[in-house]
Amino acid sequence: MEDEQSFSDICGGRLALQRRYYSPSCREFCLSCPRISLRSLTAVTCTVWLAAYGLFTLCENSMVLSAAIFITLLGLLGYLHFVKIDQETLLIIDSLGIQMTSSYASGKESTTFIEMGKVKDVVINEAIYMQKVIYYLCILLKDPVEPHGISQVVPLFQSAKPRLDCLIEVYKSCQEILAHQKAPSTSL
């Protein structure tokens, strides 16, 4: 079952949340970030090339121009491959674990999987970010030494940064699945 809704992130950009309910024990949430804008790309390229042309008129060396082209290409490739995240996906599978995938604009995917045995809870936290107070969803991991302690806080959707309404949707679904974890152990 698929579902798509439109939300906004903390800066006001448009986000699209895709929800897929594969089964009562498996759900996937996919947040798509705004794409790279042509305007900013053109602006950066023009600035770099104008600066290179200025240097060229000063030192009369054509290597400067070819170097500028090279740098622009490399910079763009590097940005697309290492920096620009297109989509962030959260896959939660009951009794297996939670998986976060970030797909970059160049197609690279980086995945982290946390086993259900290590997950204590999924909560919405508040944070002070520059001059704003924002909400973010995070996973609390159990401390192996202390049974009621928390060893790590793993924030989710760090580059999409959705607002509270989107986070509440994801939070409710996650809690429904996490409730299965706690229920059987208490009933038996």
Partner 1 sequence: MVLKAFFPTCCASADSGLLVGRWVPEQSSAVVLAVVHFPFIPIQVKELLAQVQQASRVGVAVLGTWCHRRQEPEESLGHFLEGLGAIFSHEPWLQLCRERGSKFWSCKATRRQVPTCPATSGEDQVMLVFYDQRKVLLSQLHPPAALPDRQAGDATASAVGLAAVFDTVARSEALFRSDRFDEGPVRLSHWQSEGVEASILVELAKWAAGPICLLLTCLLSLVSAASACRMFKLWPLSFVWSKLSTCEQLRHRLEQLTLVFSTQKAKNPTQLMRKANMLVSVLLDVALGLVLLSWLHRKDRIGQLADALIPVADHVAEELQHLLQWLMGAPAGLKMNRALDQVLGRFFLYHIHLWIGYIHLMSPFIECILWHVGLSACLGLTVALSILSDIIALLTFHIYCFYVYGARLYCLKIYGLSSLWRLFRGKKWNVLRQRVDSCSYDLDQLFIGTLLFTILVFLLPTTALYYLVFTLLRLLVVTVQGLIHLLVDLVNSLPLYSLGLRLCRPYRLAAGVKFRVLEHEAGSPLLLLMQINPLSYSRVVHTYRLPSCGCHPKHSWGSLCRKLFFGELIYPWRQRGDKQD
Strand partners, 114: 98
Spatial neighbors of 182 by CB under 8 A, at least 6 apart, are none
**How far apart (Å, rounded) are the C-alpha atoms in residues 158 and 88?**
9
Is there binding between residue 88 and partner 1 (CB under 8 A)?
A: no
| One of 4, 13, 14, 22 touching partner 1 (CB under 8 A) | 22
Is there binding between residue 99 and partner 1 (CB under 8 A)?
A: yes
**How far apart (Å, rounded) are the C-alpha atoms in residues 158 and 177?**
22
Is there binding between residue 76 and partner 1 (CB under 8 A)?
A: no
**How far apart (Å, rounded) are the C-alpha atoms in residues 128 and 12?**
17
Q: Considering only 40-48, 68-76, 80-88, 89-97, which stretch makes contact with partner 1 by CB under 8 A?
A: 89-97
| One of 3, 115, 126, 165 touching partner 1 (CB under 8 A) | 115
Are 72 and 48 contacting, i.e. CB atoms less than 8 angstroms apart?
Answer: yes
Are 108 and 81 contacting, i.e. CB atoms less than 8 angstroms apart?
Answer: yes
| One of 42, 47, 61, 95 touching partner 1 (CB under 8 A) | 95
| One of 10, 16, 64, 96 touching partner 1 (CB under 8 A) | 96
Positions touching partner 1 (CB under 8 A) are 1, 22-23, 25-26, 28, 91, 93-96, 99, 101, 111-113, 115, 117-118, 180, 184, 187-188
